[in-house]
Amino acid sequence: MQKKRVVFNYPPHVVEQPVISKLVKEFDLTVNILRARISPKEEGRLVLEITGKRQALEAGIHYIRELGVEIQSLAQDVKWHEDRCTHCTACISACPPRALDVNRQTMEVSFNRDKCIACEACIPVCPYQAMEILF
């Protein structure tokens, strides 16, 4: 089994198509919607976690691309500006999956983008605007 966290950017002509249910039914994938911003007849954005067998995942993503949906890794859309981070740790307890974590010995904060679910909980608690989510 493989898991991918991705962002789907929908063009208007795809927004009303049952894309997610096709991924589930035809490709036997499990789809967890982390965030959604979709309006009828307008462009839309979904942040998803997709789980399934490697070949099924590749086939499903190929199918989505063929529809004209632009797909990118979630990691590209979440930025930790390390140069702004003062390692104050204010964000640590706010981050549900512990994508932001602190080494208790050195008190250095680190960001693991593979764990991030783009929930935005860190944005309001960071006094230095060190976290940025580009959607």
Task: Indicate whether 50 belongs to the interface with ligand SF4 (CB under 6 A).
Answer: no
Q: Which is nearer to ligand SF4, 58 or 132 (CB)?
A: 132
Task: Indicate whether 121 belongs to the interface with ligand SF4 (CB under 6 A).
Answer: yes
Angstrom distance (rounded) from CA 91 to CA 95:
6
Which range of residues in 13-21, 46-54, 66-74, 116-124 is near ligand SF4 by CB under 6 A? 116-124
* Strand-strand pairing, 108-111 and 30-38: unpaired
Q: Sign of the CA dihedral 116, 135, 33, 24?
A: negative
Angstrom distance (rounded) from CA 53 to CA 3:
9
Task: Indicate whether 110 belongs to the interface with ligand SF4 (CB under 6 A).
Answer: no
Residues 73-92 that bind ligand SF4 (CB under 6 A): 78, 85-91
| 3-class DSSP state of 17 | coil
Task: Indicate whether 34 belongs to the interface with ligand SF4 (CB under 6 A).
Answer: no
Angstrom distance (rounded) from CA 95 to CA 113:
12
Task: Indicate whether 19 belongs to the interface with ligand SF4 (CB under 6 A).
Answer: no
Interface with ligand SF4 (CB under 6 A): 78, 85-91, 94-95, 97, 99-100, 109, 116-122, 125-126, 128, 130-131
